Amino acid sequence: MRIRLTVLASAVMALLCTVAVLLVFGVLHGTAERYKIDEITTNAVRLAYQAKRDRLPPVLLDQGVAGVQVIDYRGRIVSVSDTLTGRPRMAAFRPELTTPETSKMLCASPAFPDRCMIIVAFRFHNTGGLWTIYAADDTVPWYVSGPLLGALLGGSLLLVALTALGTYQTVRKALGPVEAITSKLARITATDLSQRVPVPKYHDEIRRLAQTANQTLDRAEAAVERQRRFASDASHDLRSPLTAMRTEIEEALLHSDDADWPATGRALLSSCDRLQALVTDMLQLARLDAGAPPRCEPTDLGGLAARELDRRSRKVEVVRHLTPGVVVVGDRLALARLLNNLLDNGERHAVSRLTVTVRREDGKGMLEVLDDGAGISPDKRELVFQRFTRLDAGRSKDAGGTGLGLSIARQIAQTHGGTLTLEDSDQGARFVLRLPLAPAR
């Protein structure tokens, strides 16, 4: 990028210098041409004074111009510069009656067949009538003069070189932090995400880039750490039912004659159920982590809660407060899974009663599941939403959960633009789901 920007800046400066040089040449060429015409005219006027005093020799020496011819009133050449001796009249044009002199640039004139010349014609009164003096000199070249051309070209080249050097150094300094960030990112691997890219001290776009890169690394490190914990916890939780199943089988095989095979089968089936529930929850989390958008459709939250409660077997008394017409937009199956996870958790910890409430609150649809169990202290409320987290009270009361249900429920709520929180209650745990209401039709 440094080379490309340097070449681009140098090309732009070269173009500007070219335009500037051409403009300078245009202005100076016009000025120099007018100056030369004035100089030629001055020589012609001087010769006219000499002619009036009858002091012109037939051959003029060193007149300061390329050539001079003095034409009398009869059109004869009466005096000529030594460079034009024997040559024909250099021009035939004459000044207008209103002005004593005029000038033209002629190429391949009879007196100068191989050159372009500026010729001034000066008319004056002398013996016998109107005489004309023709004085000629070389035209001004487009570059005006060699020293001027050299100075402008040299200055332009120097300016382009300074621009290239300045651009290269500026871009190198500006992109130095980017190269440092790139180099640091190249050294960061998935096995070590604790490193961070350097943040420049200047508050500019590169600083924001570095901060964004570090924030991305923070999220990546947190995600990898969550995956590591998840893998560790999953392997432990998967090992537990497998170990129980192996123990049951080995015990039955050691005492095959006395084994209670129906009881062994029931124990194995219970472990299989737990293993199946755990694998199902892990697959659900994997789909949620993939970030696939939910299949959204209008869903009556109260109707959904009523249907799910009707099809469940009751382990505790369920009190319903379901307001009809609380419609949200979401994936009906995912929301049903969320509700069942809350109900499963509530039934495991309730003493005798579970209260399910659906209503509108502050422009949102709210679903609340409240049990009459021991509740959870405020400092541990967020812990229950972490994966494979079971509080000691929960473990002692019921070890049937996978430790993933509440984490799945919160992720489903978040993918629907809502929240799932554990809030204050007089008794037990009160889980509150809030979702945006569907737009009114």
Q: What pLDDT tens digit does each residue of the chain (441 aa) get?
A: 778 888 898 999 999 999 999 999 889 988 998 999 999 999 999 999 988 888 888 888 877 888 999 999 898 999 999 888 888 999 989 898 788 999 999 998 888 888 899 999 999 998 888 999 999 999 988 888 889 889 999 999 999 999 999 988 888 887 778 888 888 888 887 677 788 888 888 767 888 888 888 898 888 887 777 777 767 666 766 776 788 788 888 888 887 777 788 888 888 887 787 777 777 777 776 776 666 677 889 999 999 999 999 998 888 999 999 999 999 998 898 899 899 999 989 998 999 999 999 999 988 999 999 999 888 888 888 888 887 776 654 434 445 566 788 888 998 999 899 999 999 888 889 999 999 998 876
Q: What is the CATH number of domain 294-436?
A: 3.30.565.10
Q: Which CATH number fits domain 205-288: 1.20.1250.20, 3.40.50.2300, 1.10.287.130, 3.40.50.620?
A: 1.10.287.130
pLDDT in tens, 91-103: 989 898 788 999 9
- Three-state SS sequence of 109-170: CCCCCCCEEEEEEEEEEECCEEEEEEEEEECCCCCCCHHHHHHHHHHHHHHHHHHHHHHHHH
| Extents of the domains making up the chain | 2-138, 205-288, 294-436
Picking from 86, 93, 92, 47, the residue whose alpha carbon sits closest to that of residue 68 is 47
Task: Name the burial class of residue 221, with classes exposed (0-12), middle (13-18) and buried (19+) by CB atoms within 10 angstroms of its CB.
Answer: middle
Alpha-carbon torsion, ordered 56, 58, 59, 65, to 10 deg: 50
Name beta bridge partners: 106: 117
Name 254's Cβ contacts closer than 8 Å, sequence gap at least 6. none
Distant-in-sequence, close-in-space partners of 436: CB < 8 Å, separation ≥ 6: 328, 329, 364, 365, 416, 417, 418
Q: The pTM is what?
A: 0.51
Q: What is the pLDDT of residues 20-63, one digit of tens each?
A: 999 998 899 889 989 999 999 999 999 999 888 888 888 888 77
205-288 against 294-436: fold identical = no
